[in-house]
Amino acid sequence: MMLVTGTTSAVGNAVLKELLARKIPVRAFVRKPSVAEKLEAQGVEAFLGDMTERESVQKALQGIESVYLISPLTAHLLATEQLWAEEARKAGVRYLVKQSEIGADPQSLSPLLHYHGRAEDAIRTSGVPYTILRTLYFMQNFAPMYAHSISSRGMIYAPLANARISYVDARDVGAVAAHLLTEEGYQYQEYEVTGPEALSCVQLAEIFSTVLDVPVRYTAISDEDAQQALLKRYPAWTAHAVITLLQFYRQGGGASVTRVIEDVTARKPCTVVTYLTEHVQAFQTV
């Protein structure tokens, strides 16, 4: 049986769907009973627990052969993944796929990239066969980040200057993850998953304008203004982690384009145009 954490995230949900389509027995680690109930109705075995508690992790890993590990974007991320690496080894887990971030580095000044870099090291040295799957800015983040300002003012605001980012559809990441989990030949490999093109925010605004058939413009804002906006939605650590990740993108860290999606899944990655066309209603004035 396989276990997937972070199942309420865009990628976690996509991984579950891919595994269910393959008729793979899967256990989802969740915190809320309401989420567990919905997953059970889909044929998923739900485990209610807390990813940061050792006893919870031990119980969840009983009878599990493979794990897809996604951790919440919190100050507990590093300690959580160190715990999971340790307990996966004790439980005899045969394979662990860790979702990480492009730019992960124990020396990074970004707390998120620093934590992911150290967590990768913990997994490499755990003794559990592993694969590391690094991602970046998901297209699914367009709506929470930009929908309100686009629908109300026709504007995109971000502290990204002229940086280019190869935005990726979380569904494509989920498809890659399912291949890693269910097929041979991927152990001890590290992959960086990107979308098919690196776009500036000006180009992104032009695509929004075309798809929505209304003018959309981009204005660069300061890190300070962006952080104040994020603090209205997230705890201080998380807001700071996002800002420093965007700083990494602003320095060119999100501009690489890889062929991992094509090479692993043999399908073309979703483009921003396709994604926005499918989700156009989220950005239209209500």
Average pLDDT, the chain: 96
Q: Is residue 231 over pLDDT 90?
A: yes
Amino acid (1-letter code) at residue 8:
T
pLDDT value at residue 229 = 93
Question: In DSSP terms, which residues pair with 200 in a beta bridge?
Answer: 164
Whether the pLDDT of residue 286 is over 70: the answer is: no
- For the residues of 55-80, what is the DSSP string, one character each? HHHHHHTTT-SEEEE---SSTTHHHH
- Beta bridge partners, 134, equal 100, 192
3-class state of residue 4 by DSSP: strand
Residue 28 scores a pLDDT above 60: yes
| Per-residue model confidence (pLDDT) at position 284 | 82
Q: Which CATH number fits domain 140-165+196-255+270-283: 3.30.200.20, 3.40.50.300, 1.10.287.130, 3.90.25.10?
A: 3.90.25.10
Domain segments of the chain as ranges: 2-135+169-192, 140-165+196-255+270-283
**Largest Cα–Cα separation, the chain:** 56
Asked if pLDDT for residue 285 goes beyond 90, the answer is no
Residue 99: per-residue pLDDT: 98
178 band by pLDDT with thresholds 50, 70 and 90: very high
For 253-284, how does the pLDDT look when each residue is reduced to its tens digit (9 = 90+)? 999 999 999 999 999 999 999 999 999 999 98
Q: Which pLDDT score, from 0 to 100, does residue 271 have?
A: 98
- pTM to 2 decimals? 0.95
Q: Name the class of domain 2-135+169-192.
A: alpha beta
pLDDT above 90 for 93: yes
Fold agreement (2-135+169-192, 140-165+196-255+270-283): no
Mean pLDDT, residues 219-227 = 96
pLDDT at 36 over 90: yes
Instruction: Tell me what the mean pLDDT of segment 72-97 comes to.
Output: 97
Q: What is the DSSP letter of 253?
A: I
Model confidence at 21: pLDDT above 60: yes
* Per-residue burial over 216-247, b = 16 or more CB atoms within 10 Å of its CB, e = otherwise: bbbebbeeeebbebbeeebeeebbbbbbbbbb
